[in-house]
Amino acid sequence: MKNNILDTKDYIVFAVYFVIVAAYGLYIYNKKKSASTGSKDYFLAEGSLTWWAIGASLIASNISAEQFIGMSGSGFKMGLAIATYEWMGSLTLIVVAVFFIPVYLKNKIATMPQFLHQRYNGTVAMIMAVFWLLLYVVVNLTSILYLGALAVSSISGFNLELCMYAIAAFAIIITLGGMKVIGYTDVIQVFFLILGGLATTYLALNLVSSHYGTTGIFEGYSLMTTKASEHFQMILKPDNENYIDLPGLSVLIGGMWIVNLNYWGCNQYITQRALGADLNTARGGLLFAAFLKLLMPIIVVLPGIAAYVLYKDGAFQTEMLQDGSVNPDRAYPVLLNLLPAGLKGLSFAALTAAVVASLAGKANSIATIFTLDIYKKVINPMATEKNLVLTGKISIIVAMILGVLIAPHLGIDKKGGFQYIQEYTGFVSPGIFAMFILGFFWKRTTSNAALFATIGGFGMSLLLKALPNLTDLSWLSGAGFAVKNAAGIYEIPFLDRMGFVFVFCIIGMVIISLFENRKGVNPKGLDIDVSMFKTSTSFAVGTLIIIGMLVALYSVYW
């Protein structure tokens, strides 16, 4: 195996990437300076982003080290089934485009706390604003920074701390330009992300074919499906050791919808890209992102499966080890270190692009929520537009510094990859999604019901997580709602747990709302009419194509 160092050609390729992104960002920033400099323009790039910029920015913000490293690791461990996060995410983007975005745009929503304030009250909005800030800084920003630096360090040989500081500095430079700069530079980031990712997949498939005495990527893929047929099943059965992570049909009709709809539809970090556009442009961007999501498993899952096939046949026996045991999250870095000079630089640029774009998007969302929902409403209600933009820039720098200082002390690298992030985000997702979905479409939902979903949902998630240690849940195994974990204890798969909590939150919210309605509470319903959900013909055609492709994929790999 090659050493984890970069060749001169790699540095040249990476330098080209850096110069292109920095120069284009500077060009957009200077061009923007002559136009509007208000807070809405800075935070949302109001009316400035095209559909392709919105779509590219969504993917650039979404794909980070947790996908490249964590999802490839899950591909190594459980196979193509992990691709359900990407493929179901594609369908989710269409649902968000049709039903969620029109509600936000019609009601002139700029931030998620603003939506909660407008729909419920200031208490709910402020609680969630503070909660989201803590979540974004302490969990999301730190994990992107640390895992990203860890990945970059593992293929470049650079010091981990140096990588973390360099990535943070690069992200700050892009983020300070505002959403318009982020949106348009993300187009370049996605280009490098996809090109570099495909280069790694190409290498992985060729490695498999050459290992077995043939040539070509298609031969390599065919060998993978033969040598690891169990890794090409999308719907896992209860006897599969990975069922606890991806419990059968729950990935199609259960908790996976809550994961995706909460992430893509109720998340400032994501929806912010579309909130500054008109409806057709926003929908076009989401549809473009949905098409790109279909491609992601090729880049982030297939390399992991290829590494598994090679490992099973005797390759990478020492490279895959960490502390004496196999660590699936090492699969992607192991493959990257085998790339020839130049291509390794391209993949290095791709990984850096993914991390920097995600950091920039997250930092901009932190600045938006802090500035518009806390600073403007509580600290300085009379703030000028110029003052708001300056406050946003300062909060970006402060958030990034906090992330760099906190990240090394959280033990992020020891807590697992993609699946860990999904499970622990799932403690809060059901309650938040219930609060949003009823807030959208049921005008009688009250503020106290929303508070119940937020607090009660989190409490219920903790209870169900602890329940296997308190009582025997084997009686749920017949329905597939409980499986044995590594300790031999029957545990509820976290996707099913999210489904149960969501139903619990909805029922509780309905009961509380109806009770308060009878006492004369009159909630503030949103301005909604059926015509908002009508789509253009081109959008409908694109939707049908995506649904057709998903049906084909699940039919082939069921």
Q: Which of 345-349, 388-392, 400-404, 443-447 has the lowest mean pLDDT?
A: 345-349
CB-CB contact of 298 with 198 (8 Å): yes
Instruction: Name the CATH architecture for the domain at 1-12+64-81+109-248+294-411.
Output: Up-down Bundle (1.20)
CB-CB contact of 355 with 65 (8 Å): yes
Query: How confident is the model over 163-214, as pLDDT tens digits?
Result: 889 888 888 887 777 666 776 777 777 787 788 788 889 989 999 998 888 8
Please, where in the chain does CATH 1.20.1730.10 lie?
A: 1-12+64-81+109-248+294-411
Rounded distance between C-alpha atoms, residue 404 and residue 146, angstroms: 8
By percentage, how much of the chain surpasses pLDDT 70? 91
Q: Which pLDDT does position 1 carry in this prediction?
A: 44
Query: How confident is the model over 225-261, as pLDDT tens digits?
Result: 999 888 999 998 888 888 888 888 888 888 889 988 9
CB-CB contact of 368 with 272 (8 Å): yes
350's CB contacts (< 8 A; 6+ apart) are: 192, 193, 194, 195, 196, 197, 199, 200
Predicted confidence (pLDDT) at residue 421 exceeds the cutoff of 50: yes
Comparison of pLDDT for 84 and 160, the residue scoring more? 84
Q: Of 27-31, 98-102, 126-130, 196-200, where does the model show the most confidence?
A: 98-102
Tokens in use for 419? 């699946």
Q: Which pLDDT does position 178 carry in this prediction?
A: 67
- Looking at residue 135, what DSSP letter applies? I
Q: pLDDT band for position 384 (50/70/90)?
A: confident
Length of the chain, in residues: 558
CA angle 396, 65, 236 (to 5 degrees): 130
CB-CB contact of 454 with 127 (8 Å): yes
CA neighbor of 422 nearest in space, from 258, 205, 248: 258
pLDDT, the chain, mean: 83
Query: How confident is the model over 45-85, as pLDDT tens digits?
Result: 555 678 888 888 788 777 776 777 778 888 988 889 999 99
Rounded distance between C-alpha atoms, residue 145 and residue 407, angstroms: 7
